[in-house]
Chain A
Amino acid sequence: MSTTIDGTTAHAWITEFTRTFTHAQQRLTDLDRLAGDGDFGTNIASALRRVDNILPATADATYRTVFTAASLGFLGTGGTSGPLFGMWFRHVARSGNDSATLSELTDGVASGLATVQYLGGAKVGDNTMIDALAPAADALKDAAASHLSIAEALEKAALAGRSGALSTGDLIAKRGRASYVGELARGVLDPGAVTIALFFEAGATVTGSSQLWPELGTEVTTQ
């Protein structure tokens, strides 16, 4: 089992994330319509198209160039979620070079989380991407401390991100677009949090986890 994430793995991770996001896009747009202005899916999809355009070829890819491409693609996006994801990917990218160890990735995810919190002003429980990102970052930290493999660590991060994303259904938004509709957003998963879960699920899948990831958020779209 590999102990680092190299360029090939990082490339596969972003590609798998793009694939699963594209599959979930309509569902996420529907969630955003219930609580926001419905532009989340379009914004992230356009960011992923830009990422795809500047992603290095698999043969030339390094951990850092792949996640830098992700960062630049997202920083060129309108709205507020896109640029926050862009800053997060920037920290992830800078945590490694040709490849990253689990502890480097863990540091990048944590410092990216700190930047997103500082820029966006959201805490856990505010019904934003932070509700999935913070537990995922903690899970990675625990996994790194217990010397788990990268696949095991990403699986744990994905499970933590997923349960964090599910928790947003019980919250009333205090930050972000959904904060304008208050009680109306109760029961609706935050699409940013779901997207974070999708990202770690994609990482787990490409590093060899056999965990299956049922669709998140389908249970609330009919409310």
Chain B
Amino acid sequence: MSTHRQFINQPDHVISEALEGLAATYPHLLALDASASLISRVHPAHEKVGLVSGGGSGHEPLHAGLVGTGMLDVAVAGAVFASPTAQQVHAGTTLADGGAGVLQIVKNYTGDVLNFQIAAELAADDGTMVESVLVDDDLASDSENDGPGRRGTAAVITVEKICGALAEQGADLPTIAAVGRNVVARSRTLALTLDGCTHPGEISPAFTLNANEVEFGVGIHGERGTGRIPFAAADALTEQLVTPLVESLGLKTGQPVIAIVNGLGGTYPLELSIIARRMHEVLRGRGITVARSLVGSYVTSLDMHGVSITLTAADDNLIAGWDAPVRTPTLTW
């Protein structure tokens, strides 16, 4: 069996050392508060709604790589695949407040939801206005049951981009929160993987697959998906992601979408472009216009050799928000 070696020093130090490295790489953009694992803008914005997001680590460049003008004000990093504590999120929420309130962007996981909610209450007691947008875009975890609901995955990028643009333009907190919730409602994501991911310091992946198997409907925490499908060529696998998304969003001919073809950490750029090509063909074939798209690894699951596709039913306003200027380590235009 192959071993999955990693470039780490000690498993306990991966988060703090990675944040230090990120801050050192972008000194003109980012500041680091090592005590609470916060990355914030080096020049904090004032008189605008602050955006804070965060969650477990292992999803880089999310969220710290999206801190900067036009996107987040503060990112809070937890341990690998584990929510930051309420105290950390409280510190991040307070730091993000430039006087016009704070929008928390939260991926739907029990621990994240709980700790952001507690932090929101603590911040509200300090006099900070707080609203939250819960991102729950993962189609595979859609269920009728009274469970935790759909997981939050790569649509968080679209939410952060569009809400970030509105905040920069001076929109108020309720407006930005409403748009954020609208983006979530219009977005769905579906993912598959050819392999499990391996935690820092471990030598074998969380699960393994045979050469003829693909894990379908995975999230971003290395857990198993909803089922296994036969391995096939990239075009066929891509279709199996795109078609259910189009159907669940009820996309009709002429509908513009914002699309994200997202690598889960171990998928190389050449593969992602091949998947993007087929996604464009399938959508074109259904008369759906890809108004804007991103192709790259933005919301990863450590070294997982997988891909997710996110579609957001767009309109002119959302596209304008997407097009607004952004300057972060990961997205700049």
Contacts and interface: CB of A to CB of B under 8 A. Distances in A.
A contact residues, range: 10 to 19
Contact of B118 (A78, A79, A86): A86
Given A75-B87, A76-B87, A83 B82 contact: no
A77 interface: yes
Contacts of B118: 75, 83, 86-87, 119
Per DSSP, chain B at the interface is: helix
Contacts of B122: 75
A80 B148 CA distance: 14
Contacts of A86: 86, 118
Contacts of B83: 78
Interface string B110-129: 11001101100110000000
B85 A77 contact: yes
B114 A78 contact: no
B82 A78 contact: yes
Nearest to A77: B85
B95 interface: no
A72 interface: yes
A75 B88 CA distance: 9
Q: Which of B82, B88, B115 has the most CB of A within 10 A?
A: B115
A82 B86 CA distance: 10
How many interface residues does chain B have, given as a range?
Answer: 10 to 19
B79 interface: yes
Interface in A66-81: 72, 75-80
A75 B86 contact: yes
Interface string B96-115: 00000000000000110011
A56 interface: no
B114 A119 contact: yes
Interface in A41-85: 72, 75-80, 82-84
A120 interface: yes
Nearest to B147: A179
Contact of A79 (B87, B111, B121): B111
B114 A75 contact: no
Nearest to A83: B86
Interface string B74-94: 000011001101111010000
A185 to B, nearest CB: 17
A83 B114 CA distance: 8
Contact of A83 (B78, B79, B85): B85
Given A78-B79, A78-B82, A72 B111 contact: no
A84 B122 CA distance: 13
Contacts of A77: 85
Contacts of B79: 78
A87 B121 CA distance: 10
B86 A120 contact: no
15 contacts: A72-B87, A75-B86, A75-B87, A75-B122, A76-B87, A76-B88, A78-B83, A79-B111, A80-B110, A80-B111, A83-B85, A83-B86, A83-B114, A83-B115, A87-B86
Interface of A: 72, 75-80, 82-84, 86-87, 119-120
Given A83-B114, A119-B117, 15 more contacts: A76-B85, A76-B86, A76-B88, A77-B85, A78-B78, A78-B79, A78-B85, A78-B111, A80-B111, A80-B114, A83-B115, A83-B118, A87-B118, A87-B121, A120-B114
Interface of B: 78-79, 82-83, 85-88, 90, 110-111, 114-115, 117-118, 121-122
